[in-house]
Structure 1
Amino acid sequence: MKKVWVVVASSSKCRIFTQEKHNGPLQQVEQLENSEADTPARDINTDRPGRAFDSAGQGRHAMSQGIDPVEQETIRFAKKVATTIENGRKQDAFDRLVLVSDPSFLGHLRPALSSATHQRLSTEIAKNLADADPEAVRAVLPYRI
């Protein structure tokens, strides 16, 4: 049987499971946590935005943020998850990859994965099951993964 990794992720948590038998139970092998996931944006950005002068006149105004700090933290965590998956691929820890993630996080995770990892990707499921027990995760997977 080929080695399968089932990666269950959200913006706050990622769990990696393996499966020994085609329809057997999942065993968790790794867990990553995003400690900044529940932090309000006002606490992530502690500095006030910079100030700029108007092009004409005496006015000054605050410069806007380029990207939402919570979104930026989610992108950073997606890259961390992708790095863990890439390291597993390089060590031949899996032959096939299954991603189970909420749709918004999946949108950040996909582009962070290499083309070699995409070739091993067998299934994507757009559901947030990061806090679900392994049996609930297994229930949404195809019979043979």
Structure 2
Amino acid sequence: MTELKKGTWVVVTDSEKALFLRNLTDHDDPNLDVFDEEEQENPSDREQGANKPGRMHDTGMGHRSSMDDTDWHELQKERFAADLAEHLYEEAHKGAFDELVLVASPQVLGDLRREMHKEVAAKVVAEVPKTLTNHPVDKIESLVKKELDAA
């Protein structure tokens, strides 16, 4: 079982929004306080792309095929994980937290693990593979405690 100690940061994120919470009490009765929030604008791919997909000549007379266009929306989601990992690295170097709990979908957790610096990864005490960014804080508190008790 992982204990949610006083001062532990809980970062609840999806691929477009991150909530930064700090536990003000102990594991038995967690009290998570939102102290920061980051959100990026990520319009649909259709709104971000300027051109229609390109065309290329195929084998055969007069044959042309379309080429896949860049998925700008998906690229921005991947960049968000990299930006978040960098922010956590900066905060870890300032000594802002000793322990970190990550709450995100399995996909985002994987992206974060790939981007995270060793110093930050060493401070991760638990991962909760759920998307909770749009849940109220009291619901996040109870779900995180339940997940940590089960671990």
TM-score, structure 2 as length reference? 0.82
CA contact (8 A) 2:6 2:25 kept: no
Query: SS of the residue aligned with 1:142?
Result: helix
Which residue of structure 1 aligns with residue 96 of structure 2? 93
Q: Are 1:59 and 2:63 an aligned pair? A: yes
CA contact (8 A) 1:45 1:69 kept: yes
CA contact (8 A) 1:6 1:97 kept: yes
CA contact (8 A) 1:2 1:94 kept: no
Would you identify which runs of 4 or more consecutive aligned residues in structure 1 move more than 4 Å?
none
Q: Are 1:136 and 2:139 an aligned pair? A: yes
Q: Are 1:109 and 2:112 an aligned pair? A: yes
Unaligned runs of 5+ in 1: none
Which residue of structure 1 aligns with residue 9 of structure 2? 5
Which residue of structure 2 aligns with residue 17 of structure 1? 21
RMSD: 2.2
CA contact (8 A) 2:12 2:18 kept: yes
TM-score, structure 1 as length reference? 0.85
Unaligned runs of 5+ in 2: none
Work out the number of aligned pairs and report it: 142
CA contact (8 A) 2:6 2:23 kept: no
**How far 1:100 moved relative to its partner?**
0.6
